[in-house]
Every structure is written in C-alpha cells, then in structure tokens.
Structure 1
C-alpha cells in the first residue's frame, strides 16, 4: 500500500513539473521586433527573460531580478562592465573585482576605493617614484604637471615659468573672469569698471541751430577696470529739451540776427540771379548781331559774283 502511494506521489510530481515546464516554454516564445511585448532595442524577447537578442550595435546586458536574469539592450555597458562585439551578438561582460570601470577584463580604467590605478592594474600601493591619489584613485607623480613646487600630488604652491597658479592648479591661460598677474605669477580676479548713478538733467542750452536746445546729464567713475576687465561705459548723455521747440518759435525777439542773415543771403542770391540773367541776354544779342553780319557778308559776296558774270558771260 505504501509502495502504491509512493508511486502515485512520484507521478503527481512528474506531472506538475511537466506542466510547469510547458508553462515556462509558452512564456519563452520569441516575439519578433515590433511586437508590443518586447522592450525597446530588442530584436527577440520572451515574457519571462526580457530581451534575448538586440538590434545591431546594441549590447545585451543581464540584470538580476531575484532568482532570474532579465535581458536589456543598451547603447553602452553600465559601470563595472565592458562591451565585447562579435558577429553573433554584442555582450556586456563584468570587470575584474578590483575595477570600478574597465576597458576589458585585463585593463582597468578606474579602481575601487582602497586601490590605485597604475598601467591598467589596480594596486594597494604605488611604486616608489609615484604617490597615491585618493581623489583620482591613481598612482601619480609627487607634484602635478607644470608645478615647480607642490603641497601634495594634487595641490601646487608655485608653477613652472609661463604658467599661473589658481586654486592649487597651474594654467597657461587663466579661466574666464580671471587674468594673469606677472608679478605674482597667479590668476587673479579681473576687475570690471563701475560707475555711479546718473545725475539729474541739466538746464536747457541753445546749441548752434535756431530753436534747438539740449540738456545734459553725467555720472562718475567709481572703479577703473583692470587690463582684461569690462571697459567703462559713457559718463555723459545729451538729449533735446522736451517741449522747448514750440515755445522757441513763438519768441518774437529771439534770433533776429539769424533772420536778418537769412534775408541778406536771399537778397544776395536774388541779385546774383538778376545779374546772371542780364549777362545771358547780352550774350544772346551778341550772337544775333554776329549772325546778322555773317548773313550780310554772304549776300555781298553773292552780288559781286553775279556782277562779274554779267560782265563776262564766259566766266565760270
């Protein structure tokens, strides 16, 4: 009796296992690209395991979800992984345990905390000619590049000739808002021009033209700029007096001398015009007299020729 119960239990378990396998097999059916079930970037996928293959140039990366792994397709591998390409597929492979990021399994590009990068390897201590940098997690020279003297591997106290010190670093060209000090050999803040507030507009004054008056206002320099600071703006402004032109036209006693000068110029121009017209009439009369004399001379010449022919009929 016990043997029959044991056989029945084994058959039931086998049936359950087979049913479970068929259930998972149905979930693992591959769906072609464009199916709404597949996540973005997948070429084929399953409901249970996500992406199975990716579109060209994308890397497939397996993310753990409890006891199973879900495939995702990425343009680049995440931190702690490196990409490998092959004609079949592009995979994301895990970096070595000491690497934070890596180029491949044998070449780290950044180490985990507590080790320092040197020639692609992560080491607990650096060679004698180098010192460890906790910020970069690398083995670096005792002084930064272009330093003459330094406090440590990351902080300069004096730069090599041609470089300027700023916040412990050496610069050949000072950053924006700073300018080089040849005396200190440092980058110092640029000083911009500063000006005060505008004064009130001054009194209206006549400036050259009749019926034209203008007023002026000014402001003072508060801070002159340094060599590379922003230059100073204008410190004075002028404008035409508002509402003064109309009143100027009603002022009967104003600008009498100007009106007299204008009248004199008009009279002078008128007199010159009359004289020019007179000279033109005289030139016209002279031309008419010349034409008349030429005509009379031609008539006299013709008369003399006719008289000569009448006296001598054979003459030509």
Structure 2
C-alpha cells in the first residue's frame, strides 16, 4: 500500500510539470489505461502501465514490482524474481520486492537470511558477527560450521565425521589412516568396507580309480572337486584348491586290446639287454672261477716242488752224516 502511495505522488509531480496531464484518468483505471506521456513500449516486458519518467507503474500478473534507485530517483521495474538483497511478497493487489535486513546479502523473508554480508556469518537463518560455542566461521561460505575433529573435513558434530581429509578412510563417523581388522580400504569411496572372505562348497565324492597311463598296471588316481560359493574381496582370505587328487589301485582285470608295437619293441629290447647282462655276469663269474682254479693248481705245484727240494736236501745231509761216522 505504501508503494502505491509513493507511485501516485510521483505521478502527480510528473503531471504538474506536463501540460494536459489528467491524473484522474490514470487513477480511475490504474490497471488498464496509462497516463499521458506513457512510453510507447509499456506493453513490452512485465509492465502493465508505465511512464517515461517513473518507469513501471503496475506489473502484469506473477511479476514483482521493484523500485530501482538511480541517484535520488526511483524507477519502477517489473521482474519475475526479486534481485539479491530483496525478497518477494505476494498479495491480491500487488507483488512487491522488499529489502532484506541490513546484515543479509540475500534472504527468504524478513526473518530468514540465506546469505550474509561480509563480516557476518549465517546460522539458523540469522546473520551473526560471532558463531555459537562449538562452531567456527567459514569465510568462504560466510556460515557458522561445526568445529570438526582435526582429521575431518565435514562433520555433523564434534565426534561424527561425514567426510574425511584427503588420504583418510571413513568408518562409522571416524577417520582412519589404516582400516581396522576385518576391514579394507575402498579408494573409490574413501571408506573402510568389511572384508569378504572366500567361501567353499562341500567336496564331491571321490571319482573311480583311473589308470595314470595306458600301460596295463594297477597304479592309478582318483579325484574330487568343490565349488567356490563366495569370491573374496581384495584383502579377504583367498580360496584354496578346488580339486584334490590321490593315488589308488585299479581293480585287477585282464588287459584288452592290441598292444602298442613301439611299446612292445621297447620291452623286447629291455628283455634282451637284461638277458645279455645276465649272460655277461655268468661269463665273468666263470672266468673268475677258472682264474681261481688255475691259481690254486699253480700254488699246489709250487708247494710240491718246494717239498721235494726239502726232502732231497734232507736225504743228502743224512747220507753225509752216516759216512762221517763210518770213517
């Protein structure tokens, strides 16, 4: 209502300086007919009625009337939203822009600031020079923020962090250089996440005993398997082997089918070699026996010759003795 009175006074002052001005025609039809001296572009933009001297006198529906100061003069401007430092109020008669409190840079209404001017800090819609206890001021945002722990970048109170400083991992409102036991670091989320350990299924039954080669022998192997139910995370317990093999004996049965010629030839060569080795051993044994027999015979002959010489020498000595006695 106060703005309407101001606009009306401005119109009267303007008419006093103009010839042929009839303000009663404008006041009689304020929403549909403009006064003399009206701008030819009045219907453009958000103005419903206007003058060259005072600007917009009324606005179209849904537009806000804003009095823009130019020196000592105020010009009416119709806007879709109020400029910074003003908030809009709507009424059936007129939508107007009202200036925020002096400490507010922008506001929602006269009692609720959304941003403070330099030197003031926002807290619960109020701009204050000093922040409450437990809070510190943020010069960039011009707000009072919580006094977070040293390792926190953002927090909800002095004990609960919502974002940690660079290089730290968050867990339950705390920041950690190294994640606790059973947790591992997640570099994408910068959080400590629970470790996921490997989980294995049950072993299957042992398979039947299978020969380890095509040879007709009783040595073989049997195996059993199990599945991975849960793949581990990066630092979780790894999975063990999924297959286990052990030796076994194949049930005795007659080999069937043709033998491999190459295998048969190898076996024959081995048999011949073994036979030749046996014959060689027997021949060497016989040679040793012959050598031993020849040696024994030679020794026997030498012993006989020695005994013969001894006997002949003895007989000669006896005969000489007897001859001496006779003389």
Fold match, TM over 0.5? no
TM range (shorter): 0.3 to 0.5
- Max radius of gyration: which structure? 2
State the TM-score, normalized to the length of structure 2: 0.40
State the TM-score, normalized to the length of structure 1: 0.41
